[in-house]
């Protein structure tokens, strides 16, 4: 598991417990669990769409079509994943709002 042993994982869990506190851990875990489930569902949906698109595709240059389909699917997956993470993980929505405001200020200054 990424070269991490039991002691390293326990230290990481202890740090997470200290940062977020015992009261917020269940909500964070539930949000991450829902996100992982949604990512798996989206992956299944996109792989099904990709297979059906390949079967229906009768273009002369299938290599270029596969690349454009893959680009569209990856962008769609990224958009859906971003939306789900923002909805389910506590604190992400506020961080995104702060980032958007900072981007607006940069555009005004530039």
Give the model confidence (pLDDT) of 73-107 as tens digits: 777 878 887 777 777 777 777 777 888 888 888 88
Confidence of residue 10 (pLDDT cuts 50, 70, 90): confident
Query: Residue ranges per domain, the chain?
Result: 26-109
Q: Helical H runs in the chain? A: 6-20, 25-56, 62-88, 92-109
User: Distance from first CA to last CA of the chain, Å, rounded?
Assistant: 44
What predicted TM-score, i.e. pTM, was given to this entire model?
Answer: 0.40
Question: In whole numbers, what is the pLDDT of the chain averaged over residues?
Answer: 77
Residue 66: count other Cβ atoms within 10 Å of its Cβ. 15
């Amino acid at each position: 598991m990424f070269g991490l042993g039991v002691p390293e994982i326990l230290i990481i869990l202890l740090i997470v417990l200290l940062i977020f506190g015992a009261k917020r851990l269940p909500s964070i875990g539930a949000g991450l669990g829902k996100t992982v489930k949604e990512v798996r569902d989206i992956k299944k949906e996109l792989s099904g769409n990709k297979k059906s698109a390949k079967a229906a595709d009768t273009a002369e240059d299938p290599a270029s079509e596969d690349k454009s389909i893959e680009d569209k699917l990856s962008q769609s997956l990224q958009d859906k994943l971003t939306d789900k993470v923002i909805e389910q993980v506590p604190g992400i929505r506020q961080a995104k709002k702060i980032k958007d405001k900072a981007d607006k200020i940069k555009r005004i200054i530039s």
